[in-house]
Amino acid sequence: MNKGTAIVGFFLCFLAGMGLMWGVDHSANTGITAENGSATAALDQSDAPVPVTSKDPIWGDPNAPVTIVEISDFQCPFCKRVGPAMEQIKRTYGPKKVRVVWKNNPLPFHSHARPAADAAATVFALGGNKAFWKYKALLFENQPNFDEGKFVAWAKQVGVDPQKFKAALDAKKYTSKVDDDLAFSKKVGARGTPNFRINGIEISGAQPYDKFKTVVDQQLAAAKQLIASGTKPADVYVALTKKNFKAPPKQQAQNNQKPKEDTTIWKATIDKDNPVEGPSDALVTIVEFSDFQCPFCKRVEGTLNQVKTTYGKDVRIVWKNNPLPFHPRAKPAATVAWMAYKQKGNAAFWKVHNELFDSQPKLSDDDLEKIADGNGLNWTQVKAAIDSDKYKDDFQKTLDEGSDLNARGTPHFFVNGYRITGAQPFSKFKEVIDAQLAKAKAVVAKGTPRAKVYDEIMKEAKGPPEPEKKDVPPPTSANPSKGNPNGKIVIQEWSDFQCPFCKRVEPTIQQLMKDYPGKIKFVWHNFPLPFHHDAPLAAEAAMEVFHQKGSAGFWKFHDALYESQPAIKRADLERIAQQVGGIDMDKFKKALDTMPYKDEIQKDQDIGKKAGISGTPAFVINGYFVSGAQPIGAFKRAIKFATKGGH
């Protein structure tokens, strides 16, 4: 399983409110209240296997007989999806019977999860429980559109002073709570999100309400027996958690250890059209993949300035545009910078670069026009370039380079080929730069001119890694297909009609078909996930259309299903079939009643599972695996390896 890819991250996610405001210093506050204003009580249950203390955001009465500890990630779509079930639990049982405790587990492959958790922890520290639960709701409501400006605006919206919030967040004043939660998550074996402990009993994934209700009812009965036998209500949680909690197996504990740092020297190329800051004979070259709308790219700028001040002529920085698709203003901003570079050179690029980051998060057309005018650029020409996507190929080139090197998130750096991911502190950069500088000086000592040091290092650097492989059988006529029946590039997709990421990847697939005309045979396999309750019937409906109207009919129905998503219940399926036209509706409705393609669908799932596919969408391209709604570069990289051996 390729844990570095986005969708596997999403799949790992699956596997696996308050009247009294609190002060800033939680150690001085022993009161807990529910949002409805129930009585307070001292809280310290740190001796429980799943500890709960006053440092945790809490909804409900401290003496509630059932405690649900929710271990979650603000960027995880399944953590968002389980929200309605948790709200139903709260409504059904109320704060006297159920208490909900929040623990952070920002997963490493969710680039915005940790900043969101830090922001939420800061809101909790400054605003208490009531502010936290409102902030939590805003984060999930707006997922995944996170940036620093939004974090500040939402803090103000829930009643927290935005200036105090930003100052505390910048200083990382309260973010150690997230570190503590991460350590806790590893200790209890909560690898994925969402993960729950109900009086110590584990529930993993975005399970339906009934699953939670079964365990809650069981624990209410157990608590009632304990209290009847003389246990104080305040002691019930610790007692039941000690009884119910199961420590993770040793192997799992090992798996939860921090992965080893990538010490590989990667072949990070420098092209003649890359903006460069610093002398051409610098001994250390930092290749930066970055995005002008990314708040973490902005945050690391201060660190990079410190690097330049500290190392002077020994360091140069090479810029690679990596405008992420979920940052709608990233490409327009990059277009302004790129036009400055094309027309006026390096110095103009870096000046515009600085002004764009200073402007962030305000990157509207008005902001860009002001920057363009201030740097002698014709705004009419710039706007035309933005609207026409003039530099699409240039940006795609660097996006593909980043994809080849698994540098899909931003910011991402290669220091003489040594990988640094994210907005790391200066100390991390210094550690790596010092080591690489020493190696570079050794190369010079052997006779290599300074200006040739990077080229010399790159000779021994490792090229893009080969994509993961999956062994799946060749497709048959039993599956819907499109494209060239004899195409040399065979893309097999395992997908789910209720999966939002399967829908999200569709434009990428369509673009691939255009970019490789007549070369692709695209094959569909059903893989309805168990927590998508409408997916199995949708798969049956699609297969009935396939059996009636062949692949052409299937793909029309397929496209209409994704267009309708998330409305794909039976009434929607019948409506869509009628809209597609030419469907025998009596046969169609009978198929929905009897589900005659259950075995065919299960066969698709079995093939996928045998190959190690566990989430959707998943693609196998001539044996090479692409997991999730990846950018087009990931697909093209797999195609490159599949057709040319990676060269």
The average confidence (pLDDT) of the chain is: 88
Are 439 and 494 within one domain?
A: no
Tokens of 261: 């740092």
Alpha carbon 259 to its chain's center: 18
Are 501 and 368 within one domain?
A: no
Long-range contacts of 140-146 (CB under 8 A, 24+ apart): 140/74, 140/79, 140/80, 140/83, 143/74, 143/75, 143/77, 143/80, 144/75, 144/77, 144/112, 144/326, 145/326, 146/74, 146/75, 146/112, 146/115, 146/116, 146/295
Helix H, strand E, coil C: the string for 223-268 is HHHHHHCCCCHHHHHHHHHHHHCCCCCHHHHHHCCCCCCCCCEECC
pLDDT of residue 27: 27
Per residue in 45-66, pLDDT (tens digit) is: 988 999 999 999 999 999 999 9
126 falls within a domain: yes
State the Cα–Cα distance between residues 11 and 616, nearest whole angstrom: 8
| Residue in 134, 122, 105, 128 with CA at minimum distance from that of residue 33 | 128
Are 121 and 27 within one domain?
A: yes
612 falls within a domain: yes
Highest mean pLDDT among 174-178, 186-190, 256-260, 478-482: 478-482
Name which residue leads in pLDDT, 351 or 393. 351
Omega prior to 473 cis, within 30 of 0:
no
State the Cα–Cα distance between residues 602 and 500, nearest whole angstrom: 21
Average pLDDT of the segment spanning 345-360: 95
Are 432 and 295 within one domain?
A: yes
Which one of 427, 459, 491 terminates a domain?
A: 459
Average pLDDT of the segment spanning 100-120: 91
| Residue in 90, 74, 229 with CA at minimum distance from that of residue 140 | 74
186 backbone φψ class: left, alpha, beta (φ>0; ψ -120 to 50): alpha
Tokens of 342: 């094309």
Name which residue leads in pLDDT, 615 or 545. 545
Name which residue leads in pLDDT, 359 or 409. 359
Which one of 205, 226, 255 terminates a domain?
A: 255
Query: Residue 19 above 90 pLDDT?
Result: no
Helix, strand or coil, per DSSP, at residue 53: strand
CB 112 within 8 A of CB 144: yes
Are 433 and 485 within one domain?
A: no
15 falls within a domain: yes
Per residue in 207-243, pLDDT (tens digit) is: 889 999 999 999 999 999 999 999 999 999 999 999 9
CATH of the domain at 328: 3.40.30.10
**Burial class of residue 246, CB neighbours in 10 A (0-12, 13-18, 19+):** exposed
Tokens of 638: 């797999």
CA distances from 309 to 66, 199, 235, 317, 385 (A): 56, 53, 57, 13, 35
Q: Tell me, what DSSP letter sits at residue 113?
A: H
Average pLDDT of the segment spanning 29-40: 36
Are 136 and 244 within one domain?
A: yes
Number of domains in the chain: 3
In the chain, % of residues over pLDDT 90: 74
| Residue in 471, 489, 473, 491 with CA at minimum distance from that of residue 481 | 491
In the chain, % of residues over pLDDT 70: 91
189 falls within a domain: yes
State the Cα–Cα distance between residues 333 and 480, nearest whole angstrom: 41
Query: Residue 563 above 90 pLDDT?
Result: yes
CB 48 within 8 A of CB 242: yes
Are 251 and 284 within one domain?
A: no
Q: Name the band, by pLDDT with cuts 50, 70 and 90, for residue 258.
A: low
Are 526 and 443 within one domain?
A: no
Are 534 and 584 within one domain?
A: yes
What single string gives the DSSP state of each residue in 459-498? HTSB-PPPPPB---PPP-TTS-EEE-TT-SEEEEEEE-TT
Q: Going by C-beta distance under 8 Å and a sequence separation of 6 or more, which residues neighbour residue 17?
A: 34, 35, 59, 129, 130, 133, 134
469 falls within a domain: no
pLDDT of residue 469: 92
Which one of 403, 426, 459 terminates a domain?
A: 459
Are 455 and 490 within one domain?
A: no
CB 411 within 8 A of CB 297: yes
Tokens of 368: 């860009």
Whether the pTM exceeds 0.85: the reply is no
State which residues form the domain around 372: 276-459
State the Cα–Cα distance between residues 559 and 503, nearest whole angstrom: 9
pLDDT of residue 248: 81
State the Cα–Cα distance between residues 256 and 50, nearest whole angstrom: 17
Average pLDDT of the segment spanning 550-558: 97
Average pLDDT of the segment spanning 610-618: 92
476 falls within a domain: no
Tokens of 227: 């209290």
CA distances from 606 to 88, 458, 474, 527, 538 (A): 34, 44, 14, 9, 18
Q: Name the band, by pLDDT with cuts 50, 70 and 90, for residue 403.
A: confident
Query: Residue 9 above 50 pLDDT?
Result: no
Q: Which residues share a beta bridge with 625? A: 620
Alpha carbon 229 to its chain's center: 47
State the Cα–Cα distance between residues 225 and 231, nearest whole angstrom: 9
Name which residue leads in pLDDT, 250 or 496. 496
Per residue in 366-377, pLDDT (tens digit) is: 999 999 999 999
pLDDT of residue 628: 87
270 falls within a domain: no
| Residue in 117, 6, 158, 40 with CA at minimum distance from that of residue 619 | 6
State the Cα–Cα distance between residues 114 and 532, nearest whole angstrom: 27
Q: Going by C-beta distance under 8 Å and a sequence separation of 6 or more, which residues neighbour residue 247?
A: 49, 188, 189
Task: Please report the beta strands in 73-115, taking only residues with DSSP state E, as ranges in sequence order.
Answer: 98-104
237 backbone φψ class: left, alpha, beta (φ>0; ψ -120 to 50): alpha
Q: Name the band, by pLDDT with cuts 50, 70 and 90, for residue 109.
A: confident
Query: Residue 463 above 90 pLDDT?
Result: no
Query: Residue 141 above 70 pLDDT?
Result: yes
Query: Residue 192 above 50 pLDDT?
Result: yes
467 falls within a domain: no
Q: Nearest 5°: CA angle at 567, between 571 and 589?
A: 25
Residue type for position 290: S
State the Cα–Cα distance between residues 487 and 180, nearest whole angstrom: 53
Average pLDDT of the segment spanning 254-264: 64
Consecutive H or E run containing 277: strand 276-277
The terminus-to-terminus CA distance of the chain in angstroms comes to 24
CB 100 within 8 A of CB 59: yes
State the Cα–Cα distance between residues 617 and 613, nearest whole angstrom: 9
pLDDT of residue 361: 83
Per residue in 280-329, pLDDT (tens digit) is: 999 999 999 999 999 889 999 999 999 999 999 999 999 999 998 778 89
Are 94 and 215 within one domain?
A: yes
Are 164 and 292 within one domain?
A: no
What single string gives the DSSP state of each residue in 182-212? HHHHHHHT--SSSEEEETTEEEESS--HHHH
| Residue in 102, 80, 85 with CA at minimum distance from that of residue 213 | 85
pLDDT of residue 384: 97
